[in-house]
Amino acid sequence: MSGHPGPTPRGKADTTPTRIVLKKGGTFFLNGALIRAHDAFGAEIHLAEALLLPSQILSAETARTPLQRLYYCVQQALIEPEAAPAWRAAFAASLPPLLDPHSEVGPVQRDSLERVAALVEAGRLIEALSALRRAIKAGPAA
């Protein structure tokens, strides 16, 4: 994702836009809204606090590995704030088997998951999703 807005040294937001192209039927999440395209379109987004691009959104059917299922729980807590307590509970219930030293998750991923759990607990869901994407890319878990 290029041009993600963030604070600058003077406290002003960087106005470099994030560019997206969405195919017909595609979805993305922007500042509390799940947006679904009826037709293909391109857009520039300035100053988004919470942005999930189409490639970053998992469906229940595509969340096959334990790490993907954790990601799905955090994603849904962000997308469905009214159901966030249930999604956080599902995340918390899914985490202990992965943190077990006898699981197939390596020590680096285990450390990463502990940081993710702290981020989720603190309500920093976008950061937790970013950390989970890195963990998923690092390799399969359990």
97-138 pLDDT tens trace: 888 888 877 777 888 899 999 999 999 998 999 999 888 888
Amino acid at 36: R
Cβ neighbors of 142 (< 8 A, separation 6 or more) are 65, 66, 97, 98, 103, 104, 105
Asked if pLDDT for residue 7 goes beyond 60, the answer is no
The conformation of residue 56, written as its DSSP 8-state character, comes to: G
Rounded (5°) CA angle 125-24-26? 15
State how far the Cα of 105 lies from the Cα of 109, in Å rounded to an integer: 6
* Residue 73: Cβ-neighbour burial (10 angstroms; 0-12, 13-18, 19+): buried
Query: pTM of the entire structure?
Result: 0.67
The number of angstroms, rounded, from the C-alpha of 130 to the middle of its chain's C-alpha atoms is 5
Average pLDDT of the residues in 53-60: 74
Q: Do 87 and 128 touch, CB atoms closer than 8 A?
A: no
